[in-house]
A and B are shown apart, each in its own frame.
Chain A
Amino acid sequence: MPAKALDARALAALAANPGCRRRAILDGAGVNKAALAGALGSPSAFGQSQFALVRGNAFEAKVKADGGTELLRLAHEKLDRGSEPPAEARVPDLTAQGPQGRTARTELALREAAGAPGAWTLLDHPMLALDVAGSPAFLEPDAVVVHPDGSWTVVEIKSFPLLDGAADPAKVGAAARQAAVYVLALEQVAARVEPAPRVRHRILLVCPKDFSNLPTASAVDVRKQRAVTARQLARLTRIEEIADALPEGTCFSPDLPAEQLTRAVEAVPAAYAPECLSACELAFHCRDRSRAEGAVTSLGRPVRAELGGLTTVEDVLAAARGEAGDPDDPAVAALRRAAALRAEALGTASREVAPCP
């Protein structure tokens, strides 16, 4: 089965549920989770509207038009006011054969820029390689800017608006996590250059301004996201350990019969929570399983906070009804108290006598 190349979005999404071994091993092994979900009979609900696609591409083209004049102006204004304004920027041609070729071409362009400081350079769709669990993932940022002082900045171009200087925090967060992956990849390149250029930890987020399609930008500090992603990547290398625990010959090919495939997937433990629905292609499959097992976490992670060692719906209800559980366990005691208070309140209400008139 052809491995699905990990992109920055997928890498950034690792942080969404780092406790999930299923996701870690499937991503680490390059399994196409969308195809897998379809083959399991619980297709993922991720799709993109062509309107959004067209709009996004049109905006990116506008930002980069005219040799990236506007983009570099924003980089100067938001990140590097002390330097010379970009008058004539270099925009090296980065075309090459295949991802390896493009990666090499990008690295060469970055080295050339490092060798001739004092100017602005714009890398349009460079390609970067990042070592993920032992194999390279090829990443394609929207752009990378080389400043006159030789430092590098990741540029993210998004089509959600910057309205009165503010933007949807969830979307900015996602963009920051994605950019952090590029920062890590750039740092690997920088480490190979002598002297190593500085990779800036404030990235440039370019968005449409208010209700127009004029580009505007904001600097985003991604130090936290960078640290998070770095340690998630470090954890991914432990995949071999998980894989060793799998039955011999486990295979996740979507061509296998659904039953066999389900067995293979179930061999790797998942940590499903409702947040997965917006972050993982397998979420509907895992949700079905989680619900079938009666796991309380299918109702949300916070639910289990006060339940102590009880993890299933039936165990909790049995404990609350007094049919099971150790009454000295404070979780069980609290559940019984809660059940009694709830019953009393519902009973009171049906008699229509409020305790506090």
Chain B
Amino acid sequence: MSLIATLARLEAVSTGRAQPAATVRHRHLSTRPLVFVPLITAGEAGAPLGALVGTDRDAPRLLAVPQPRDRDLRFAFLAELADVVLPYIDGFADVVEPAERSETDPETGKRVKVEVELCADAPQLIVPSRAGIDLVRLLGRSTRFRRTAEQDPETPFPAPPRVPLLGRWLTHFGERARVPGSSLLLAMTDVLGRHWATGQSSLEDQHLGALLAWIAPPEGRSGAEAAQEAELARDAAGQLLCPPAGPATDPAFDNRLLAPAIERYDRARTALAAAEDGLEADDRLGALTAAEREIRALVASRTRPTWDAVWQGLDLLRELPEGSRVEERWTRDRWSFTGHRDRVASGEPPQPRRDDAVTAANKLATREREQSRLEAQEALDDPLVMAARRLSGEAFAGEVVDVVMAYSESKRPSPRPLVTVRTDDGPHLGERARAYRSLGGKPQTVEFVGYEDGPEGGLLVLRVLDRMGRGKEPEPGSVPEKGDRLCFTLFEHEPRGGAKLPDPEETPWTHGGPPGEEPAPEPADQVTEEDIL
């Protein structure tokens, strides 16, 4: 943690309120995000118990599984979830704008520009916490290989029609969320934690209620008190006043409220099955419905506070102005969304269980590149982030005190002006080190020439190397002027693209060789009488 971040946390302790960790918003927020607050059943690898989901903060759709171990009820839950999520996604798939993309021409092998469609906007999924992102991935994994009756009439337990497609989309969202700076799927605790420093540890920040208590404590109370209450306070019946954001539930809720309710539901169902005539069946159906309603009410009572908290978090985040480079990163998300839309449309099989060697290497390269991009862009967008980089010697800001015109030694001399900058920062500048400043959104490169009066003097002489036009005289505005306040970074503003990896069919012998024959479509998971999800 940078000392600046540490100081922010300590100030939060001392003032009783979270302190800014950013001055702009570093993540894209959709005008119409889909919020998803799921709950799972303890001990059963992500078996859903219920969820609130939707785009309208006042009218979430409540989904509940009255008996989480019943396969049919689980499928019904997933089908209902698909009914909410897929139309939402489809709403973004059809609105497109023309765009260009470089592709390798299969005949000539040259890079050529191709006209393609780019979705004008993309869906955005918001879950309360990081564990919610893991559940999205798990749901994706559990459903994308399911077979519907239409795909395979022989399948013993056919999934409802749109469930495998839901799985493919959730998988895509889950994978995209691993790309630094992406915003297709966000965890509210992560985004809030990026923008505010609380007076507790980042571990405790995983509790959405406690985190919000620090950022926006109730009138007249300190963040510390409010956070502790959100974490621990229980009512007379021993239930947490602020239920955990899930997807795991509080054991006290499971044992005292949920388990008896599920038992009543099971009994009502057994009784209904044993009904001997219509009249009795009607009565018992009533009892079953009541038992189911009770479970739905329990699920609603544990998810609604979290649902409201997520929207409160969105409100808080929207108050921050968006960083100027956020839009560019969101465009990458739109490309990602459009790409998956196209893969689904072209009938490609679901994402495999495990990446092959080339895909894994490509994903890692992308994520490393995006991580560098994110770090650079956040610093350029936000003086508070840049302050941490200045503190660590990776950037420096200062005033131009002198500019001397100079030229390169070549047949056609180009301008290479020498700029002297006075700074209080202590950048780690090696001999001929490069530094960059943002000039009209593009990086201008300078080279470190030396200290005017020793390393302690704070006077740096820099030689400007580029972005001054083609002529002998630099273009107006392209050379710093005396009195300018400038900020230079030692890191590059745009990550360099890596080398292209071989195609999977050309996987070398060191990595197991090509995958071989046309890969068979991945089999569905084995289905047993008593499966978990």
Asked whether any CB of A lies within 8 Å of a CB of B in the complex, the reply is yes
Interface positions of A (Cβ within 8 A of B): 45, 47-56, 159-161, 163-165, 208-214, 274-275, 277, 284, 291, 294, 296, 298-300, 302-303, 305-307, 313-314, 316-317, 320, 334-335, 337-339, 341-342, 344-346, 348-349, 354-357
Asked if B20 is an interface residue, CB under 8 A from chain A, the answer is yes
Of residues 485 through 518 on chain B, the ones whose CB sits less than 8 Å from some CB of chain A are: 485-487, 489
CB neighbours of A344 from chain B (8 A): 383, 387
CB neighbours of B246 from chain A (8 A): none
Of residues 330 through 369 on chain B, the ones whose CB sits less than 8 Å from some CB of chain A are: 353-354
Chain B residue with minimal CB distance to A159?
A: B43
Chain A residue with minimal CB distance to B258?
A: A51
In Å, the complex CA distance between A205 and B441 comes to 54
Residue-wise interface mask of B (416-457) relative to A, using a CB-CB cutoff of 8 A (1 in contact, 0 not): 000000000000000000000110110000000000000000
A212 touches B525 (CB 8 A): yes
Asked if B520 is an interface residue, CB under 8 A from chain A, the answer is no
A355 touches B532 (CB 8 A): no
| Nearest CB of chain B from residue A294's CB, rounded to whole Å | 8
| Nearest CB of chain B from residue A71's CB, rounded to whole Å | 18
Chain A residue with minimal CB distance to B533?
A: A211
CB neighbours of B353 from chain A (8 A): 164
> Which listed residue, B41, B386, B528, touches A356 by the CB 8 Å rule?
B386
In Å, the complex CA distance between A291 and B440 comes to 47
| Nearest CB of chain B from residue A221's CB, rounded to whole Å | 22
In Å, the complex CA distance between A355 and B380 comes to 8
CB neighbours of A357 from chain B (8 A): 324, 438, 440-441
> Which listed residue, A51, A299, A346, touches B254 by the CB 8 Å rule?
A51
From known contacts A47-B252, A51-B259, A54-B43, infer whether A345 and B10 are also in contact, taking CB-CB under 8 Å.
no
Asked if B11 is an interface residue, CB under 8 A from chain A, the answer is yes
Asked if B174 is an interface residue, CB under 8 A from chain A, the answer is no
A210 touches B386 (CB 8 A): no
Q: List 16 A-B contacts (CB under 8 A).
A: A51-B43, A52-B42, A160-B45, A165-B354, A210-B526, A212-B527, A277-B203, A299-B10, A300-B201, A317-B10, A345-B386, A346-B20, A348-B383, A354-B324, A355-B386, A357-B324
> Which listed residue, B203, B204, B383, B526, touches A212 by the CB 8 Å rule?
B526
> Which listed residue, A48, A211, A275, A307, touches B531 by the CB 8 Å rule?
A211
CB neighbours of A51 from chain B (8 A): 41-44, 254, 259
A208 touches B45 (CB 8 A): yes
Residue-wise interface mask of B (245-266) relative to A, using a CB-CB cutoff of 8 A (1 in contact, 0 not): 0000111101100010000000
B387 touches A49 (CB 8 A): no
> Which listed residue, B9, B252, B391, touches A341 by the CB 8 Å rule?
B391
CB neighbours of B438 from chain A (8 A): 356-357
B530 touches A213 (CB 8 A): yes
> Which listed residue, B250, B251, B384, B437, touches A345 by the CB 8 Å rule?
B384
In Å, the complex CA distance between A112 and B324 comes to 75
B387 touches A341 (CB 8 A): yes
Given contacts A212-B528, A344-B387, 18 further A-B contacts (CB under 8 A): A51-B259, A161-B45, A161-B532, A209-B526, A211-B142, A214-B526, A274-B200, A300-B201, A313-B13, A317-B10, A320-B10, A338-B6, A341-B388, A345-B386, A349-B382, A356-B380, A356-B438, A357-B441
A284 touches B232 (CB 8 A): yes
CB neighbours of B89 from chain A (8 A): none
A349 touches B383 (CB 8 A): yes
User: B9, B440, B489 — which one has the most chain A CB atoms within 10 A of its CB?
Assistant: B9
In Å, the complex CA distance between A303 and B203 comes to 13
Please provide the 7 A-B residue pairs with the shortest distance between their CB atoms, ordered closest to farther.
A52-B43, A349-B23, A49-B42, A47-B251, A55-B43, A274-B201, A49-B254
B386 touches A317 (CB 8 A): no
> Which listed residue, A160, A212, A355, touches B397 by the CB 8 Å rule?
A355
User: A164, A211, A314, A342 — which one has the most chain B CB atoms within 10 A of its CB?
Assistant: A211
CB neighbours of A47 from chain B (8 A): 250-252, 255
CB neighbours of A303 from chain B (8 A): 1, 6, 9
Interface size, B (range): 35 or more
CB neighbours of A159 from chain B (8 A): 43
In Å, the complex CA distance between A314 and B353 comes to 52
Residue-wise interface mask of B (367-380) relative to A, using a CB-CB cutoff of 8 A (1 in contact, 0 not): 00000000000011
Main SS at interface, chain A: helix
B199 touches A299 (CB 8 A): yes
Asked if B274 is an interface residue, CB under 8 A from chain A, the answer is no
In Å, the complex CA distance between A334 and B390 comes to 12
In Å, the complex CA distance between A312 and B155 comes to 64
In Å, the complex CA distance between A300 and B199 comes to 11
Of residues 232 through 250 on chain B, the ones whose CB sits less than 8 Å from some CB of chain A are: 232, 249-250
CB neighbours of B530 from chain A (8 A): 213
CB neighbours of B324 from chain A (8 A): 354, 357
From known contacts A51-B44, A346-B20, A355-B397, infer whether A298 and B201 are also in contact, taking CB-CB under 8 Å.
yes
B391 touches A338 (CB 8 A): yes
> Which listed residue, A294, A298, A314, A354, touches B381 by the CB 8 Å rule?
A354
| Nearest CB of chain B from residue A46's CB, rounded to whole Å | 9
A275 touches B10 (CB 8 A): no
| Nearest CB of chain B from residue A275's CB, rounded to whole Å | 7
Asked if B478 is an interface residue, CB under 8 A from chain A, the answer is no
A355 touches B254 (CB 8 A): no
From known contacts A211-B45, A212-B526, A355-B487, infer whether A346 and B384 are also in contact, taking CB-CB under 8 Å.
yes
CB neighbours of A300 from chain B (8 A): 1, 201-203
Asked if B177 is an interface residue, CB under 8 A from chain A, the answer is no
In Å, the complex CA distance between A300 and B250 comes to 25
Chain A residue with minimal CB distance to B240?
A: A45
In Å, the complex CA distance between A313 and B12 comes to 10
From known contacts A163-B45, A348-B383, infer whether A307 and B6 are also in contact, taking CB-CB under 8 Å.
yes
Asked if B79 is an interface residue, CB under 8 A from chain A, the answer is no
CB neighbours of A298 from chain B (8 A): 200-201
In Å, the complex CA distance between A307 and B259 comes to 49
> Which listed residue, B7, B13, B386, B525, touches A211 by the CB 8 Å rule?
B525
User: A209, A316, A345 — which one has the most chain B CB atoms within 10 A of its CB?
Assistant: A345
Asked if B8 is an interface residue, CB under 8 A from chain A, the answer is yes
Asked if B3 is an interface residue, CB under 8 A from chain A, the answer is yes
CB neighbours of A160 from chain B (8 A): 45
CB neighbours of B135 from chain A (8 A): none
A335 touches B7 (CB 8 A): yes
From known contacts A317-B10, A317-B14, infer whether A342 and B4 are also in contact, taking CB-CB under 8 Å.
yes
> Which listed residue, A164, A284, A299, A355, touches B354 by the CB 8 Å rule?
A164
| Nearest CB of chain A from residue B461's CB, rounded to whole Å | 20
Chain A residue with minimal CB distance to B44?
A: A55
Chain B residue with minimal CB distance to A161?
A: B45
In Å, the complex CA distance between A356 and B379 comes to 9
Asked if B464 is an interface residue, CB under 8 A from chain A, the answer is no
Chain B residue with minimal CB distance to A62?
A: B530
> Which listed residue, A48, A52, A334, A356, touches B3 by the CB 8 Å rule?
A334
Asked if B141 is an interface residue, CB under 8 A from chain A, the answer is yes
User: B3, B7, B13 — which one has the most chain A CB atoms within 10 A of its CB?
Assistant: B3
Asked if B224 is an interface residue, CB under 8 A from chain A, the answer is yes
| Nearest CB of chain A from residue B70's CB, rounded to whole Å | 14
CB neighbours of B397 from chain A (8 A): 355
CB neighbours of B42 from chain A (8 A): 49, 51-52, 55
| Nearest CB of chain B from residue A109's CB, rounded to whole Å | 31
A342 touches B43 (CB 8 A): no
CB neighbours of B251 from chain A (8 A): 47-49
| Nearest CB of chain A from residue B72's CB, rounded to whole Å | 15
From known contacts A45-B232, A208-B45, A349-B383, infer whether A214 and B528 are also in contact, taking CB-CB under 8 Å.
yes
| Nearest CB of chain B from residue A68's CB, rounded to whole Å | 20
In Å, the complex CA distance between A203 and B146 comes to 33
CB neighbours of A356 from chain B (8 A): 379-380, 386, 437-438, 487, 489
